[in-house]
Structure 1
Amino acid sequence: MEIKTGFRNILILGACLIAAMILAFGFSQYAFFEDTAQSERMDKLSVEGMQLVQLTNEVLLYGEPRAVTQWRSQYQEVERLIKDEKLTLNGDLQEVMGPLRIRFANLLPLQEKLVQSQVRNTEPQVVRIIASQLFQDATQMQASLRSLKDLADEAFKSAYETAKQRQVLIFSLFTGLVSVYGIFVSLLFRKAILTPLYDLRQTIHSIREGQKAKAPVHEDDEIGAVCTTFNILLDEQESTRRQVQAISERFRNIFEQAAVGMSIVSTAGDWLEVNQCLCDILGYSRDEFLKTNYQAITLPEYLEDDIERVRIILSGEKAFDSWETRYRRKDGSVIWARITTALARNSGDSPMYFVTVTEDITERKNAEARIREINRQLEEQAHDLKRTNADLESFAWVASHDLREPLRMVSSYVGLIKKRLGPELDEDMTQYVGYAIEGAKRMDAIILGLLDYARIGRRGGTFELVPLDEVLAESLLNLSVTIKETQASVTVQEGIPKVIGVRSELIRLFQNMIGNAIKFRHPERPPQVKVGWEERQTEWVFSVSDNGIGIDPQYFNKVFQIFQRLVHKDAYEGTGIGLAICKKIVEHHGGRIWIESTLDQGSTFFVALLKVKLD
């Protein structure tokens, strides 16, 4: 039950108790008034009767008309009082009221007789007799009235004593009830309010002393709800404390185990806390750090800039800053350090301290110096290489003209000799002439191949998004005569993607690989060539498979070397440059090329090109 409901009921009970007490005292007063009303009526009757007796004596003494008139008026008043039903019906008064009524009834006839006698001048003796009798009745009536007065006094006294006893009884009863009510209220107040509040106070005291405690919930009332809410807040506070402790421990672990120097620095520059990594970087112990400040270890030529950066952060122009500076270690050596610092502020936005990360970049700085020197050397080498490449390019063009020109002249004149002396040449001479012409042609082909090989990546072709379906279509078009003559079957996997590359070089790449697959066909079966592709995470992998003569695995690396032939020139024509050109094209595109083959069953050449976006 709620406290307010309980105390409302208590107040209602108290109000009822007060109302009952008021009613009881009111009833007591009413009963007292009722009891005293009878005695008052008796007393009034006795007083008025005595007044009537006194007037009767005056009438007897003076006989004045005024006295007679007053007597009659008083008689009527006494008659009204003596006829009161409450006096008439009261059995306890009949012993007094009976004679009183008789004597009172005799007064009026005797008084009238006396008046008539006086008016008629009746004999004095008769008048005296009547007067004597009237006086006697009046005297007897007076005695009865005194008795009535005594009864009235006794009745009033009895009523007073009864009322007094009744008041004492009511007061005692209600005093006891009020005491019980007060004790009940006190116990209820103690149970409902004082005890829970005392327990709550003890709980708070225990918590202040660092003990774990919870407020006991005695009842399901308002204070119980307060205690329950207090316990919930304690649980939330404990949960928050654990979270804060976990965060603090996590921060401490991060702070202590960080691979960079970390520190907490006051706004004046004093070290407040440092981790072991910073101690290792600068060679100081933790205690030595805490006795100094960052100004003491900063080289003078860098100190002014550091102080200015700190001032800017303190002014609020920046929340944090990062810069490079130089510190002097305890052993006197100087290091480069990269400083990143941020200012921690309290809830009132007032600066508290700096959280600083210090990274030793001495090795990086030294490496940068070495790299700068290496770059300088590379620039010089690149300049020399550029000049050499230009010389080679010039040499290649010169070679293509100066070397091929004598070969064409040799081939032409040997052809003329064969034509003019043809009938005169014997079989051996004809064969020798053929060898000379064939050698000149092969030499020319080799020179052309070398020129092509040297020009890979030097023709100024631009990298662009190239649809490989168009590349393959053009490559197959260039090989259409060979495909038709050899009755080869070439299939291309659908959906072949677009890649970034030099269009002409990609055409040469696929043309060479498909041409090789057709050239080195198996003599017992028609060539079948399949071009496939596969998407991987960072690259496209393309394949050209055939059912040709295959390659022994021991020659896999050798096939991509220039002028390397694995079959006799009489069996398969060629210069041994085709696959070397393919490898150079692939490497120019940042890719890789390899082979998988089984001798006498066929080969598969793979080309992997990176999936890159065109800027």
Structure 2
Amino acid sequence: MEQTLYRVEHASSVWWPQMQLFSGLILSLFCVFAALCFFVMATQQTATTRLSNLALSVCLLSQACLSFLSVVASESISLMVYLLLNCVFVIAGLTAIYCYRSVLSRVLFGDSNQGLPQIQADQLTPELEATQKELEQEIEAANRMRQRMQSIFESAPNGMLVVRKDGTIAQANTLAESIFRYPEGGMVGLSVEGLVPKEHRPQHHVDRNNYVKAPTKRMMGDRKDLYGVCLDGHKVPVEIGLNPIEGSFDQEIVATIVDISERKQYQRFIESRNNELENSNRELQEFAFIASHDLREPLRKIIAFSRLLQGEDYGTFTAEGKEYSGYVVDAAERMRTLLDSLLSYSRVTSMANSFEKTDLNALIEEVCADLQLTLEESQAEITVSPLMSIEVDASQMRQVMQNLIGNAIKYRQPDQVPKIVISGEQQESKYLLTIQDNGIGFESEYAEQIFEVFKRLHGRDQYPGTGMGLAICRKIILRHQGRIWADSLKGEGSIFYIELPLIRQEERLNE
């Protein structure tokens, strides 16, 4: 028994000093490491927190020194050094406790914040106060911006949907819910495919996935008629514009939706009325053609037999009889002229030729050749500037130019030589022809009336004619998708303008 106790005492005397040395070194290293951590924290905190962390750092360093010296040099350490280190340890510890008094009070007395350290208002530095103020201002500005965007979204004149990448609806404004007849908030979370007709849903799913890969701002449908499906199954015609939201986390897309039901209804109404007008115009043209053509033969016979009666081969008229028969012939001649004009007017569209590129200078030379006798008799002077070659119905344009040049000669000043100036100017996609004369002119109030059918400003005894010439000119220019108008002052001549498109509407649509 005594031998056993001796062995235990001998073993403890061997390993116990070693254990003390090892534990002292570990405690010293831990205190040094903790002191360094508090020192680093002190360099990044406010004044009060920095002081408390420095005090803890000093406290831990003094404890590390005490632990190290008590283990390594316990026999050689002087009493003065030992007391000095203990004083440093106590002072630093008390300083740390004083600096952390607010935290200790919350821990000991059960503060509602559960002992979490908070920076009091009186401890805030000017930098922190400025930062806090800036953050509050940014938060307030962000809230105002969100409210403004929500107000714009709701007050937009079109329906608007915000659609996520997977096709679910993230947001819908009131007008979109009204278009598709959903209750308030009833569209959020639904798949956008539910708004597409069933027969188009598979293709829409493919098109939407392709669009998500390369989103761009564009109209949906590529000029096709689009229809949306309402909650009650009713289909509504719509136009949809797509606009990706830049910087969106979920690649959201804004879809702008316009209900075009009223527009479609109005288009159908316009098409119906246009068809009715076309049929009516066709019937009127056919009637005018038939009437003018069929009435020419009876008039020809009236004129022929009236002249035979005037020839005294079938008896002699009295003076009054000759006068009255002359009235019959003159009236029949005027009627034939009117019928010829009416026939020409109806043939503008019914017997028109195709459009071909025509040299306008050569065309005017042909017109002047046709009017050679009239030009020589009136000694008229015609000046023609270089003109373009454009696509027109050559025979109809020749008729227009012959009518305008003929009018310039007919309505000339009695004491002046007629002077006619013809020029042209290209204006973007149009060509403007100008025909100017020094004739008698007319009042500006009649600038529109002179293009009406059978409209005359002078009596037949002054200037012969039917009043159909300018009406035919306008109808020809309208067929060319152009326009004609006049500007004049009485006694100062007239200027007629003809505006022709360089590319007609049919060609533009084909392009």
Using structure 1 for the length normalisation, give the TM-score: 0.49
2:453 is paired with a residue of what secondary structure?
coil
**Aligned: 1:393 with 2:289:** yes
CA 391–550 in structure 1, closer or farther in 2 if over 3 Å, else same: closer
Of 154, 164, 167 in structure 2, the residue corresponding to residue 265 of structure 1 is 164
CA deviation string 1:557-586 (max 9, x = no partner): 332233333223223222222222222222
Residues 537-560 of structure 1: CA distance to partner in whole angstroms, max 9, x if unpaired? 443222222222222334333322
- Residue by residue, what CA displacement relative to the aligned partner does 1:106-164 show, whole Å, maximum 9, x if unpaired? xxxxxxxxxxxxxxxxxxxxxxxxxxxxxxxxxxxxxxxxxxxxxxxxxxxxxxxxxxx
Counterpart in 2 of 1:463? 355
Shift of 1:510: 0.8
Unaligned runs of 5+ in 2: 1-35, 46-137
* Equivalent residue number for residue 304 of structure 2: 409
Q: Secondary structure at the match of 1:533?
A: strand
Aligned-partner SS, 1:403: helix
Q: Are 1:553 and 2:452 matched, yes or no?
A: no
CA distance in 2, matches of 1:303, 1:286: 24
Alpha-carbon spacing, 1:435–1:280, altered in 2? closer, same or farther (3 Å) = closer
Establish whether residue 496 from structure 1 lines up as the match of residue 387 from structure 2: yes
Post-superposition shift, 1:486?
1.3
Quickly say closer, same or farther: Cα 1:491–1:427, change in 2 above 3 A: farther
What is the CA-CA distance between 1:294 and the residue it aligns to? 3.2
Alpha-carbon contact 2:181-2:230 (below 8 Å) kept: no
Which residue in the other structure is 2:477 paired with? 586
Percent identity reads 25
Where does 1:564-603 land on structure 2 (aligned, <5 Å)? 564-603=455-494
1:440 aligned counterpart, secondary structure: helix
Distance 2:497 2:302 in 1: 37
The partner residue of 1:293 within 156, 168, 190 is: 190
Letter in 1 for 2:291: F
- Structure 1's 547 and 411: CA in aligned 2 closer, same or farther, altered over 3 A? farther
User: Does structure 1 retain, via aligned residues, the 8 Å contact 2:356–2:393?
Assistant: yes
Give the aligned residue type for 2:488: S
**C-alpha distance 464-565 of structure 1, shift in aligned 2 (>3 A):** same
Cα contact 1:325–1:339 (8 A) shared by 2: no
Contact 1:540 1:610 in 2 (8 A): yes
Q: TM-score if structure 2 supplies the norm length?
A: 0.57
2:488/2:495 contact within 8 Å kept:
yes
Aligned length: 360
Give the whole-Å Cα distance in 1 for the aligned partners of 2:247 and 2:461: 90
CA distance, structure 2, for counterparts of residue 341 and residue 352 of structure 1: 16
The 1-side partners of 2:450 and 2:243 are apart by 61
Cα 1:435–1:286 change in 2 (3 A) is: closer
Q: Counterparts in 2 of 1:157-172, with a 5 A limit?
A: none
Q: 1:411 to 1:284 in 2, by over 3 A?
A: same
2:496 is the counterpart of 1:605: yes
Tell whether the 8 Å contact from 2:450 to 2:470 is kept in structure 1 after alignment. yes
Deviation at 1:308, TM superposition (A): 6.6
> Match for 2:255 among 357, 363, 377?
357
Of the candidates 321, 330, 333, which is equivalent to residue 441 of structure 1? 333
CA RMSD, 1 decimal: 4.5
User: Does residue 1:479 correspond to 2:377, yes or no?
Assistant: no
Using the alignment, how far apart are the partners of 1:369 and 1:564 within structure 2?
39
| Structure 2 residue corresponding to 1:519, chosen from 407, 410, 428 | 410
CA contact (8 A) 2:243 2:255 kept: no
Using the alignment, how far apart are the partners of 1:579 and 1:312 within structure 2? Answer: 56
| Residue in structure 1 matched with residue 228 of structure 2 by the alignment | 326
Say if 2:487 and 2:496, in contact at 8 Å, map to a contact too. Answer: yes
**Deviation (angstroms), 1:476:** 0.6
The answer to whether the 8 A contact 2:164-2:252 is kept is yes
1:223-238 aligned at under 5 Å gives the runs: none
1:302 equivalent in structure 2: 197
Task: Read off the aligned partner of 2:453 and give its amino acid letter.
Answer: I
Please state how far the C-alpha of 1:357 moved relative to its aligned partner: 1.2
If each structure's helix is expressed as a fraction of its own residues, which one has the higher value?
1
Give the conservation status (yes or no) of the 8 Å contact 1:407–1:444.
Answer: no
Q: Could you tell me which amino acid in structure 2 is paired with residue 476 of structure 1?
A: C
Tell me how far apart the structure 1 counterparts of residues 314 and 298 of structure 2 sit (CA, whole Å).
Answer: 26
Q: CA deviation at 1:518?
A: 0.7
Task: Encode CA deviations 1:345-372: one digit per residue, 9 max, x unaligned.
Answer: 999xxx95552515143xx245435644
Larger Rg computed on CA atoms: 1
Write out aligned runs for 1:48-127 (5 A).
none
Q: Distance in 1 between matches of 2:410 and 2:284?
A: 37
CA–CA distance in 2 between the matches of 1:345 and 1:557? 55
Change (3 A) 1:262 1:591: same
Instruction: Work out the CA distance in 2 between the residues paired with 1:552 and 1:314.
Output: 67
TM-superposed deviation, 1:463: 1.4
Relative to structure 1, is the Cα distance of residues 319 and 535 closer, same or farther in structure 2, using a 3 angstrom cutoff? closer
**Unpaired segments of 5 or more residues in structure 1?**
1-193, 204-241
Cα offsets for 1:384-408 (capped at 9, x unmatched): 65456445433332223x3333333
Structure 1's 414 and 548: CA in aligned 2 closer, same or farther, altered over 3 A?
A: farther
Distance 2:240 2:448 in 1: 52
